[in-house]
Amino acid sequence: MRDSSVVSIAKVNEKAIPFGTGLDTDLQDFATSPEVARLPFATAEPLLCSLSFDELEELYQRAEARDPGFQRPNLERYYREVTFRNDEELEAAAQLLEELYPVGRYGEFPVRAAPVIASCVPPRERFMIPPHLLGNNTIGKFRVALIERGWEINGVGRHPGLEHLELETSGVPRFGEEGEHGVAALGVLAGIRASSPFGIYPNPAKVVIAAIDRAKTCTNNIADAICWSLTKLSAGDVILVEVQKETAGCVVPVEVEHAIANAISLATALGITVIEPAANGRMRLDAQLNLPGLRQPFLSDSGAIVIGAGMFINGKWHRDDCTNYGPRIDCFGPGDPTHTFGNYPVADPDGFTDPEQMMTCGFSNTSAAAALIAGIALIVQDAAQRRFGAPFHPKVLRHLLRDPRNGVECAPREEVGVMPQFEKLAANIFD
């Protein structure tokens, strides 16, 4: 018998259509499947639990005013926590879903020998930032929202490198490993050490933190965390998604889930850029994927900038062995350990962390890469506001960051996009 009696659905044309099993996979909202439409359930709660439908309507109206081509994603029709009446009905429904949506097969690329890393690198030493891109303002013009699995509130409160930030938090914090992950990401993005910049964008106007456990009865809800963040942000701001999704034994970007992709498309229409890790799944993301919960085709555009990870080996950038890859990946950042705040990973056997100084060298892979590129995106938006009087639209910003003329590419056929370089961005866009 299965451990859970909860599934998620999308409501389409007044029929109950399954959105996910709530076990270990998520499904598309197949409105045309009569077998699925008849799956029994007893109760259902709206997917969005942190904002009202009136607040969602206001977001829709803002998006339509900014983008005449915006199509409402109908997030109000998604439901969560749908409980079957008994275990037998749950078992029958789960078996039906597995039959309807079989899992595809995947191959992994060969693993290279790991490079020798003498020491981890502070975020700002990864990129040479031209002074004129930073401007003279002590406080940046734009805000950033961090979507995290957990959040160590006390870690931020006691860490001197993050005390300068104006924070607004939401959701249920998790402590330990998951909480420290959030501290590490924010250190890369906006930290200050010894009264000097440490993170890429050290002075955002505000930091909004949304844990994906929205409430005790509304957990693991990434779409809701994104939508709540949108009520706190404006055009030019950035959302950094620091979570990935596991489905059918594969690790993939969160936008494979319909509701999350729709929330990202809403953010894009509002002029808010979403930075999303490609995830540490070692698989190719392309239109041939066949996973439960995968949007078809997967390559359809959510609007997010998807970030892979790279490693600098023998004088060239190569795809990091951890990262997903493929045509959906826009950019990459360094995936080797980045020096940052906190104690992540908490239980590191090799002593990467320095608990007394609350610094770590264990933050890496696509999480670190996405945080680094999010900082670059904020600096570019800040410079655009000063130079042109307005930030770039998210899709224009994505085009600029993934343009090979504005960065460096990995070795041929590695398919992780471009790593932006400030010198080239400054020369090609702002000079």
Distances (CA, A) of 316 to 34, 156, 246, 310, 414: 53, 36, 31, 10, 12
Q: Is residue 111 part of a domain?
A: no
Please indicate, yes or no, whether residues 228 and 369 belong to a single structural domain of this protein.
yes
Please indicate, yes or no, whether residues 36 and 150 belong to a single structural domain of this protein.
no
Please indicate, yes or no, whether residues 219 and 338 belong to a single structural domain of this protein.
yes
Angle of CA points 64, 65, 70, to nearest 5°: 25
Joined together, the tokens standing for residue 310 give 């790279």
Q: Are 420 and 369 in contact (CB under 8 A)?
A: no
pTM of the model as a whole = 0.84
321 CB neighbour count, 10 Å cutoff? 18
Joined together, the tokens standing for residue 348 give 């590191």
Q: Is residue 116 part of a domain?
A: no
Please indicate, yes or no, whether residues 11 and 70 belong to a single structural domain of this protein.
yes
Q: Are 429 and 342 in contact (CB under 8 A)?
A: no
Please indicate, yes or no, whether residues 320 and 363 belong to a single structural domain of this protein.
yes
Please indicate, yes or no, whether residues 83 and 186 belong to a single structural domain of this protein.
no
Burial class (CB in 10 A: 0-12, 13-18, 19+), 151: buried
pLDDT by position in tens, the chain (length 431): 233 333 344 433 333 334 433 322 233 333 234 444 455 554 556 788 899 989 999 999 999 999 999 999 878 877 665 555 666 766 666 666 556 544 433 333 333 344 444 456 778 777 766 665 655 555 688 999 999 987 765 555 457 788 888 889 899 887 777 778 888 899 899 888 766 778 889 889 999 999 998 988 788 899 999 999 999 999 999 999 999 988 777 888 999 888 899 999 999 999 999 999 999 999 988 766 666 555 655 667 899 999 999 998 888 899 999 999 998 899 999 998 888 888 787 655 454 555 556 778 888 999 999 999 999 999 999 999 989 999 999 999 999 999 999 999 988 789 999 999 988 998 899 87
Any idea which residue has 């994603």 for tokens?
Answer: 73
Report the amino acid identity of residue 325. Y
Please indicate, yes or no, whether residues 81 and 221 belong to a single structural domain of this protein.
no
pLDDT at 19 (0 to 100) = 40
Please indicate, yes or no, whether residues 284 and 412 belong to a single structural domain of this protein.
yes
Rg, Å, the chain Cα set: 21
Q: Is residue 342 part of a domain?
A: yes
Q: Is residue 106 part of a domain?
A: no
Please indicate, yes or no, whether residues 382 and 256 belong to a single structural domain of this protein.
yes
Domain residues for the domain of 62 are 6-100
Please indicate, yes or no, whether residues 44 and 141 belong to a single structural domain of this protein.
no
Please indicate, yes or no, whether residues 300 and 169 belong to a single structural domain of this protein.
yes
Q: Is residue 109 part of a domain?
A: no
Q: Write the DSSP assignment of 54-100 as a string of letters.
A: HHHHHHHHHHHHH-TT-----GGGEEEEEE-SSHHHHHHHHHHHHHH
Q: Is residue 129 part of a domain?
A: yes
415 CB neighbour count, 10 Å cutoff? 20
Give the chain's domain count.
2
CATH number for position 298 = 3.40.50.200
Please indicate, yes or no, whether residues 71 and 179 belong to a single structural domain of this protein.
no
Q: Is residue 224 part of a domain?
A: yes
Q: Are 374 and 419 in contact (CB under 8 A)?
A: no
Q: Is residue 402 part of a domain?
A: yes
